[in-house]
Amino acid sequence: MSRPRVHVTGAVPAAIAAAIAESFDTVSDPSDAEGILALISTRIDDGYLAAAGPQLRIVANYGVGVDNIDLPAAAVRGIVVTNTPDVLTETTAELAIALTLSLLRRVAEGDRFLRAGKPWGFGLEFMLGEGLRGKQFAIVGPGRIGRATARLAEAFGAEPLYAGRGELAGVLPRADVVSIHTPLTAETRHLIDKEALALLRPTAVLVNTARGAIVDEQALVAALREGRLAGAALDVYEHEPAVTAELLTFENVVLTPHLGSATCATREAMGMSAVSALRSLLLEGRRPGNTVGQ
């Protein structure tokens, strides 16, 4: 008896490859596939879905964000789209706090300083930074990851503030730290633009572990260059994997290469969630519980 055919759009951990091989036949061409396991770096747009053919029934995204998938185009074709919620919540929240502390306590800057071989000695006013205690910690997008980040920030003594899209004007002027956790949609693209950045105090910092295009990088660079923002910590970029060159020149900017979910356990759990969705629909005829937007 033939098994369902699945196309995987990129390299996956060995455990996930084994789980796929256990249940499915893998195919190199999506036009032969009934299911696709899609990495978030693969753009699944209308053209991709049209070329894949009418036999395609499900796209299981290897990530919680689905901005790489044209959801309306999938819905028109009756293609189920799933994501991997919950399993990366705490891991991404940890990175948001790690980036915040690295920025405030000048960890990355200090690392660069020592690696450059610059002379130094202990001094009471040498490389002074800031702590989280007493800070107003604004969460833009208070979903699963945003609220998990808020709990960690609160454990360090910060006071969480929550802001949806329509609440920025009331929250940003009060914030010491602004941490971005909203999904990327047409409505949230450049949500943090020149006008939003102008609401921040010059002592505030911006942290983004969500999606790069939520922040207008050119507006961010201008705010940093003009001293209207105390710093930024970014894990995601507007034109990822490209990074706006001027961001690399600022000492008060911490940059990481999209590591939000990057622990071995989390990446494996994400993959197993995607495989489970494929099995539910293609082997058991059940609609997966982590279906998105339909």
Catalytic residues: 211, 240, 258
Q: What is the DSSP string of 121-150?
A: ---TTTT----STT-EEEEES-SHHHHHHH
Residues 272/244, Cβ–Cβ less than 8 Å: no
CA distance 108 to 36: 39
Strands 58-61 and 35-38: parallel
Q: Which residues contact 161 (CB under 8 A, 6 or more apart)?
A: 136, 137, 138, 139, 171, 174, 175
CA 5 from centroid of its chain's CA atoms: 29
- 3 state SS for 23-51: HCEECCCHHHCCEEEECCCCCECHHHHHH
Cross-strand bridge partners of residue 207: 179, 233
